[in-house]
């Protein structure tokens, strides 16, 4: 495996897992107040375009990493919309 491929794989892993902590926090706390649906929506468009670009270039690293990121962001959007429709979260002491 060439250095270029290794860098691509490492970059893909970092990008792909970058929003997992946000997703975990959202699932745990069920508090979507600080998540911008506009930002996530724009990111989704960009990721979709990256996947399409990956298919055009026949580059599996681009396709897989951006598809995974698109999936994580899709879950964040669905959960954000679900939790925004619920009553406000109250901490109990």
Q: How far is CA 2 from CA 7, 8, 40, 92, in A?
A: 9, 10, 33, 54
Q: What is the pTM of this model?
A: 0.81
What's the domain count of the chain?
1
Residue 10 lies in a domain: no
User: Which positions ≥6 away from 68 have C-beta within 8 Å?
Assistant: 16
In angstroms, the first-to-last Cα distance of the chain is 54
Give pLDDT tens digits for 16-36: 899 999 999 999 999 988 888
Q: Give the domain range for residue 52.
A: 37-84
Q: Given the structure tokens 């491929």, which residue do they identify?
A: 5
Kindly tell me if the per-residue pLDDT of 58 is higher than 90.
Answer: yes
Residue 92 has what pLDDT? 57
Q: Given the structure tokens 């990721």, which residue do they identify?
A: 47
SS3 assignment, position 30: coil
Residue 69 lies in a domain: yes
Residue 57 lies in a domain: yes
């Amino acid at each position: 495996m060439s250095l270029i491929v290794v860098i691509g794989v490492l970059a893909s892993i970092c990008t792909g897992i970058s929003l997992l902590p946000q997703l975990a926090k959202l699932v745990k706390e069920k508090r979507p107040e600080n998540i911008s649906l506009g930002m996530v929506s724009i990111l989704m468009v960009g990721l979709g375009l990256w996947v399409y670009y990956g298919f055009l270039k026949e580059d599996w690293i681009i396709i897989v990493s951006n598809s995974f990121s698109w999936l994580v962001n899709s879950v964040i959007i669905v959960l954000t919309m679900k939790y925004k429709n619920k009553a406000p979260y109250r901490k109990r002491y």
